Every structure is written in structure tokens, then in C-alpha cells.
Chains A and B, each alone.
Chain A
């Protein structure tokens, strides 16, 4: 599904992602964990071409090289990113935000069906569908951003810290939703501070440290690994 070779991101002279390579199979859920500043967000932004990437690397999506494509073309090819923090359109209503999620789609009836499914997952959003998204609570905005991404029916879903700033109940709800999406064979790349939750959700994981992948294994092995337990599980 996704094959990345030697991906690099620089901010001015400073390297944030120092040539990482990895691959994700179709239908997999893979976690990326790492400390603050490890380069996880930079990697996701580079994958979705919101950041310029070094020309030497390669990003293949379903076998096709996409490193030179603009962001909006990638979205048409089934990629979706739920960005870190609140990426909702504050001055658009909840319903308009969800409609923007389906911007690339033309199948009106199926969109309506998907909208009902999203509202069923997030009933509190349905009650507020005419409200401006900027007036939602932080957690509700996070849910809206996730729901909006689902409206595009992505094949590869990139999630940047979906649990950030959420109360435990909401975190539970978000991850329940993620598992439900994963069960529908959507490939998921999950970046999370909450390493335990991320690894319990994913089948395998990568550990990032200062712009490099330093460890990769199945989730079970990573959760048992003393280095991971010490650095990311607080033991």
C-alpha cells in the first residue's frame, strides 16, 4: 500500500526526518511512537506533501511514485491525513466540514449514507450539525476531524495524535472508531504519544528517535521490549 524509501525533511538547514524507510501492507494498522520532536508530524506532512521533501527519496502509494504529486492529487488517490491538533474549518458548520471531507466524491447517495454512519458514530455532532465548528469543544473538534476524513472513504488513513487533549471517555470512543475503520480493510498509519494505546490498536509498530526509525517489531514484542517499556510506557 505504502512504501517509503529514504524520506527526508529539512527545516532550513535542520533535518527533522533523516532518511527513513518503511512499508505498510494493505489493510494493516501500524503505529509510530516516539518522543516529542522525534519527527512524527514532519513525516506525516511530508507523506501528504504538505512539506517539501528531499528529492532523493521515494514514496510509493499502491505501487505508484507519488513524491512529486501535489497534496490534492494524493487525496484523490485515497490518502487522508487527520492533522495534529484541530484541523477543522472553524467558520464552517459541522455539516459543511463533513461535506468538505467528501469534496472529491461525486456519488451523492453514498455520501448521504456515509454521513449517516458518521453521525451514528458521533451523535453529539449530529445534534450540532448547524453549529460553527469553531464553537465545538476541543474533543468534539477532534472527532469532527476524524469523521471528516472518513467522509472521503480513504484507503490510507494517516492519523496524527488522535487522542491528544481528549478525556478518557473520548479517547476510548476515538479508538473504537479507529478499530472499526481498520476492520473495513482501511490501511492506517497511527502516530500517537500514548504508546500503549497505539500499540494495542496496531499490529506492529515503529519507534522514532530524532528523525530516525530506531526499532520496529510486532506490537506484542514492542509492548514487551524493556527499552520501549522504559522510554514510552513509563515503567
Chain B
């Protein structure tokens, strides 16, 4: 039972991070039906910039928490600028082009950003300064770190903030109107180009914080980290229903839980020794409580893609997404 609660906590931590990144995919998709493949790289830039700043700040005597704060304050505007430039330079000129063109451009931008990051930060795995105090709480047999609590708390706060912007402000109304029908939104006096840019910038700000948190959580950053993380968050967005904002939140958390629980139990489930039918074949290996595990927890990364495939096969509109026919 202990491992169950432990994995729930780990899953919630991961899941809330996925949710924050998934929001960036889903908001952009909702408004211009583009899968912004470069979004993962914006997260990576957030992590890299934060890492550089946190290291420098720590090196020059900032207390650990203050260093992290400075890192966040540097990463957010930097990523917002990056998100704005992406939209302005790479996607806006293709607004009227066939949909394949911006999609391919997005893949291209993702590669470009990775290469730029590699030139700036080298191809090495960089480690975050490990100077945050590690505080652990024991709850129901699971150990929860203060960092995990901070990550979950911060992510939930950002989700609430985003929901407020989208559902309660004038900009949010313009975003939802544009997402539904840009032509009619124009007729309401909405500057659609600005609303689209704002959507990219908000998504990038969330990505910056996610990048920093992921970096601190794993203790490292690498120029390719955005690719895996991005694909997982994209899977989470699809799981929730791409284009649907609450869907991205739910999808992210669910995916985190699936991954953590999957990683926690896959070893047990694929231990051939526990299934009597193989006894004859694996006698020697299984003797004296031995085991023969087919898939270990290192298969954690597979779950996101299994989920993605299952959703695409059985419910392409996602958990909360409307049926595709409705958006004719």
C-alpha cells in the first residue's frame, strides 16, 4: 500500500507539470488549430535560462530560495519573448497558408531551438545547483517532499489563474470568441492577431515556470529535454481533448498518475515468476523467491504514448473534447 500512495504523490507532481505544459499546446491549438511542436523547446529554454541564472545567483551568494526566485523572474519574460517571436516570425506569415505549412514550420522551429540551445549551453547534461533544503513529510506511509508540495501548489495556482483569465476577463472572452470564429470575433472589434500573440505569450509564461520546476525536480537540464516532455504534455492535451482548457488540466494530472502508477507496478505485473504457467521454463530463475521482470520502471516513458495511441483509437476527441463534427 505504501508504494501506492507514494506513486500517487509522485504522479500528482509530474501530472501538474504536464498539465501546465499541456495548456500551452491546447490554448494554441484551440485558437489557431496549430500543434505548436516547438512548445516543448520553450519549456526547455525556461529550464536552461533558469538554470544559468540560479547557478550564477547561487554562486554570488544569494540564498537558495532567492536564487530560484530570480531564476523564475528571468525565465518568464525571456520565454514570453520567445513565444511572441515564434508566433510573429514563424507562424503569423503562414496564417492563410494550408495547415500543413505551419505544422512543418513548428517542427522546424523545434529543431532550430534545440540547436540554438545546444550552441549556448553545450550538449552536456547540466545540473541544477542542489542547494535547496530537502524537507520530507511522512503522510500515510508515503514521503512527500516540500518541493513536491511547492510544485503541485504552484501549478494548481497557475491553473486557477489561467482559468480566471480565460473565463472571467475581457482578454479571455476575446480568446474564446477568436477560438470559435475569428471572423465574427473581428466583427466584435477584436484584434485577432493580438489575441493570438497573447495566447502564445501566456502559454510561454506557463512553460517558463514549468521548465524551472522540472529542472529543479529532476536536478538537471539538457537541450533535448523539451522533446520528451513536450510529447508527453501533448499526449496529455490530446487525452483531455485538444483545444479544451479544463481538458488539458485533467489530462495532464491523469497522465502523471498513469505514469507514476504504471512505473510503480509494471515490474510486479511483468514478473513472470509470479505466474505459475512459466514455472517449468524458468525454474532456475524463479527458485527461492527469484524473479524475472520483463519490463521495469525504466519503461515509464512508454505510458504516455500508450495513452496517446489508445485515445486516438478509441476517443479521438479526448475526455472532455467535443465531438469533431460539432465544429463544422
Contacts and interface: CB of A to CB of B under 8 A. Distances in A.
A75 B183 contact: no
A126 B190 CA distance: 25
Interface in A36-74: 48, 50, 70-72
B181 A76 contact: no
Contacts of A70: 186, 191
Interface string A81-104: 101000111111000100111011
- State the majority secondary structure of interface residues on A: loop
Contacts of B183: 50, 83
A80 interface: yes
Nearest to A90: B180
Interface stretch (B112-120, B168-176, B250-258): B168-176
B184 interface: yes
A92 B176 CA distance: 8
Given A89-B180, A89-B181, A91-B180, A71 B186 contact: yes
Chain B residues touching A, range: 10 to 19
A88 B186 CA distance: 13
A152 B189 contact: yes
A146 to B, nearest CB: 13
Nearest to B322: A91
Contacts of B177: 89, 92, 100
Contact of B187 (A75, A91, A96, A99): A75
A81 B180 contact: no
Nearest to A158: B187
Interface residues of A, number: 24
B33 to A, nearest CB: 15
Contacts of B180: 89-92
Contacts of B181: 87, 89
Contacts of A101: 188
B189 A103 contact: yes
A105 to B, nearest CB: 9
Contacts of B170: 103
Contact of B186 (A72, A89, A96): A72
A87 B185 CA distance: 10
A5 B183 CA distance: 25
Contacts of A80: 187
A43 to B, nearest CB: 16
B320 interface: no
Q: Which residue, of A75, A76, A80, A101, has the highest number of chain B Cβ atoms within 10 A?
A: A75
Contacts of A152: 188-189
B90 interface: no
B192 interface: yes
B216 to A, nearest CB: 38
Contacts of A50: 183, 186-187
Nearest to A145: B184
B176 A71 contact: no
A83 B188 contact: no
A10 B273 CA distance: 74
A100 B176 CA distance: 10
B187 A104 contact: no
B184 A87 contact: yes
A89 B176 contact: yes
A74 B188 CA distance: 10
B184 A89 contact: yes
A151 B154 CA distance: 39
B85 to A, nearest CB: 22
Contacts of A71: 186-187
A83 B173 contact: no
B180 to A, nearest CB: 5
Interface in B185-228: 185-192
Nearest to A133: B180
A99 B169 CA distance: 11
A152 B184 CA distance: 14
Q: Which residue, of B170, B183, B186, B192, has the highest number of chain A Cβ atoms within 10 A?
A: B186
A10 to B, nearest CB: 16
A83 B184 contact: yes
Nearest to B170: A103
A71 B192 CA distance: 10
A91 B176 contact: yes
A50 B190 CA distance: 13
A96 B173 contact: yes
Given A89-B181, A104-B189, 11 more contacts: A72-B189, A72-B190, A75-B186, A87-B184, A89-B177, A89-B180, A92-B173, A92-B180, A100-B188, A103-B174, A104-B188
Ranked 4 nearest A-B pairs via Cβ: A75-B189, A104-B189, A71-B186, A103-B188
16 contacts: A50-B183, A71-B187, A72-B189, A87-B181, A87-B184, A87-B187, A88-B184, A89-B176, A89-B180, A99-B173, A100-B185, A100-B188, A101-B188, A103-B170, A104-B188, A152-B189
